[in-house]
Amino acid sequence: AGRPYSATDSSGRRQVESCMGRMGSLSLAWVGDGSGVLLVLTTFQVPLFMMHFGQSNLYRSEDYGKSFKDVTHLINHTFIHTEFGIASSPDHSGKVMLTGDVSEIGGFRLFRSKDFGMTFVPTDLPFEPHIQMLYNPGDCNTLVTLSITVLDLWLSEDFGATWRKIHDRVCLVRWGPKNSIYFTTNYNGSCNDRGMLALRKTADYGRSFKTIATRVYSFVLGGRFVFASIMTGTRMIHVSVDGGEVWNMAQLPTVNHEQFYSFLTANQDMIFMHVDDPGDSGAGTIYVSDDRGAVFSKSLERHLYTTTGSDTDFTVITSLRGVYMTSILSEDGVVETVITFDQGAKWQTLRRPQNSHCDTETSTNRPNRCRLHIHASYSTTIKMNVPMLPLSQPSAVGLILAHGSVGDAESALSPDVYVSDDGGYSWLLALKGPHHYTILDSGGLLVAVEHTDLPVNQIKFSTDEGQCWHTYNFTSNPLYISGMDSEPGSRSMDVSLWGHRNDHSKWVVITIDFRKLFTRECTEGDYIQWLAHSADPSGSNDGCVLGFRETFLRLRKDTVCWNGRDYAVTKKLSPCPCTGDDYHCDFGYYRPENSSECVEQEELKGRPLEFCLNWTTEQLQSSGYRKIPGDKCEGGFQPDRKETDLKRMCTSNALRPNSLVMMVVIVILLMSGVAGVWLVKKYVCGGRFLVHRYSVMREHVEANKIEGVDDIDPHYMETGKAQYNEDSDQDLLE
């Protein structure tokens, strides 16, 4: 490694340059929260015949990347597997792990640190890991992983010092709440046997197990919900809100073998689920759930979700409550961006920024189609020049940075960077061309660097939420930029750039400290009150969204000061009376385009809506509206809605293996006059899958054979494929 170089320019901005290892792969990881510790791992690997030879170098900074030390000796110059990365604990306690290959002695070695990477303790593993070590969010001393050999599940209760095998043939594993572990397994075959897996759970670190579902493909944990996609002939999602003890069949259309479900996101109140359309359309429908996760309503049709790349633009906007953004495939086959501000009750297109314009043909012939379109995952899949996805942070209220284009559809040309300071209601063209960007100082500072094939020496920054931008020459020797990074949480004032020079021989990391750009810390007079959701052009809600108003203290755009690491978002809440905006359309109803009214679906008119819940038939009487889960409105509009217990038993055959025997026993006992009700409650209701499906859907499918909706198999249950990505909100339930 080269010796760190530092300099300070006339305005006080300080940059530091470090050269690291030879070219190959580079990984960065922040350790702790506010510790200033940054670890950088470079790995160089050369394939030779049937073997790979490689070298790893580890560098450590404890001043937010301003200087680095080569600490490769702490890991005994061991080759570190890049696919396992730098595993930093989510509790910010300073724990970090690296998985090394010591094939010369026939195994793998775990390097463990409890002191922010100052020292590492080597531990030889009794297995070859298949995935990265997974921390228990509730106790980061406890870890699980899978081994390559027959996919054994291994657990450690002492931060990787010792390991014990707790199960074999495990396909997918997830940590659940309260130290629970959920996983799928297949005793009689491989993980490729779709629909033949068992979903199991342990709450005592593998000392005992409980099978909570069978005929499972995969599963997803989201919010307080557990999802399983169950398969026999057709497939359906099952949902549990009590950790798999009791399940309800989600009221969603069944899918055939060519289609899929995808869990998009969930909070403590509700679920967003995508259901693929039949055929190879690349689109489907988003459904939103009630607070039980069982009754779903249509939220958005023609939702873009490519079956080839399994990519969707669905984005959770974390800087403002209730906001989600995604893309649709319009009726004329073009991709458009839509946004919701009320958790999926209504969707709308993005307004054109005032400082950008459509081409003459669109402006003249289709002025109402001149809109902003945001580039996200789909654009990266088709190899567009989009270096970053949309960015928002909870600490930077209302701010969104994203690549986009203006026109009547999403453009294939190189996009520009747009900024919204009100959660997506209005947008501003901020920077021409694609950029890497980040949010610093809780939104008080935005930083960007151009994404180009040419070397650059300028970084851009804004202190007024993207309205005005300034440039700073951070080096006299331009750099080919590979990426930009800052400490998670957006509270830091430091940003690190990494890339290489013309010779491609070494990685170069340059860290810029913007702290001295500001002369003072912000005081009370630097903030103003801002009413969230008040930028609605209709002006109908006056900031009322999901039942209450939120008034935030936000930094004035014309002030130059820093919020500081201890800055906390300040807000005041006030309740609102209920209106139609506080309701999703109920099952069997939908909102026509450009309408706020819920109208009855034609194919369901005049049909009784019955469903099975907890082995009892319920009838729904609805005027078309169901309150949005989590909505806090009071009084006002209160539409009629009633669920009536018809006192009629209903059953599902989508049960665990022993359920068939139990059902036979129940039938015999009922025929012989024995007290069957007691047995049903005691032996069947405890932990079995319970149907929660509107019977009118089945009746209508059978009567009319709707194209693309499968008949519901009476032996039914399945779970879907979840991508191995712990920070992802999107999981495929095929």
The whole-angstrom separation of Cα 95 and Cα 113 is: 5
Domain membership of residue 464 (yes or no) is no
pLDDT above 70: percentage of residues in the chain: 80
Do 312 and 378 form a contact (C-beta atoms < 8 A)? yes
Average pLDDT, the chain: 82
Rounded to whole angstroms, the Cα distance separating 430 from 357 reads 14
- pLDDT of residue 702 exceeding 70: no
- DSSP line for 451-479: --SS-B-EEEEESSTTSS-EEEE--SS-B
CB atoms within 10 A of CB 215: 26
Which band of pLDDT confidence, cut at 50, 70 and 90, is reported for residue 724? Answer: very low
153 falls within a domain: yes
Number of domains observed in the structure of the chain: 1
Mind listing the pLDDT tens digit for each residue in 287-300?
Answer: 999 988 888 889 99
Domain encompassing residue 167: 125-208
| Residue in 144, 140, 89, 78 with CA at minimum distance from that of residue 111 | 78
Q: 151 lies in a domain? A: yes
> Residue 465: what pLDDT?
96
Please, which pLDDT band fits residue 698 given cuts at 50, 70 and 90? very low
Average the pLDDT over each of 139-143, 257-261, 444-448, 460-464 and give the range with the smallest value.
Answer: 257-261
Question: Residue 210 above 80 pLDDT?
Answer: yes
Largest CA distance in the chain: 94
For 664-683, what is each residue's pLDDT tens digit?
A: 343 334 344 444 433 333 33
Q: How many Å apart are CA 240 and CA 230, to the nearest integer?
A: 13
Greater pLDDT, 280 or 651 = 280
**pLDDT exceeds 60 at position 658:** no
Return the H-helix or E-strand segment holding 661: helix 659-671
Alpha-carbon span 720 to 708, nearest angstrom:
19
The DSSP code sequence of 529-540 is EEETTTT-TT--
CA distance 482 to 424: 29
Task: Look at residue 189 and tell me if it is in a domain.
Answer: yes
Burial class (CB in 10 A: 0-12, 13-18, 19+), 51: exposed
Q: Is 441 exposed, middle or buried (0-12, 13-18, 19+ CB in 10 A)?
A: buried
Does residue 265 sit within a domain? no
538: CB partners within 8 A, 6+ apart: none
Residue 663 has pLDDT above 50, yes or no: no
Share of the chain above pLDDT 90, in %: 52
* Cα Rg of the chain (Å, integer): 28
Residue 707: per-residue pLDDT: 29
Q: Is the pLDDT of residue 591 over 70?
A: yes
Give the model's confidence band at 687: pLDDT under 50 very low, under 70 low, under 90 confident, else very high: very low
- Assess if residue 663 is contained within a domain: no
Q: Which of 92, 99, 31 is nearest to 60 (CA)?
A: 31
* Within-domain flag for 392: no
Coil, helix or strand at residue 394 = coil
Summarised one tens digit per residue, pLDDT across range 17-74 is 666 655 678 888 999 888 999 999 998 876 655 555 678 999 999 998 889 999 999 9
Within a domain: residue 149? yes
Neighbours of 312 (CB within 10 A): 24
Q: How far apart are CA 126 and CA 71, in angstroms?
A: 26
Cβ pair 144, 160 in contact under 8 A = no
pLDDT score at 522: 95
Give the pTM.
Answer: 0.84
Measured from the Cβ of residue 534, the count of other Cβ atoms closer than 10 Å reads: 17
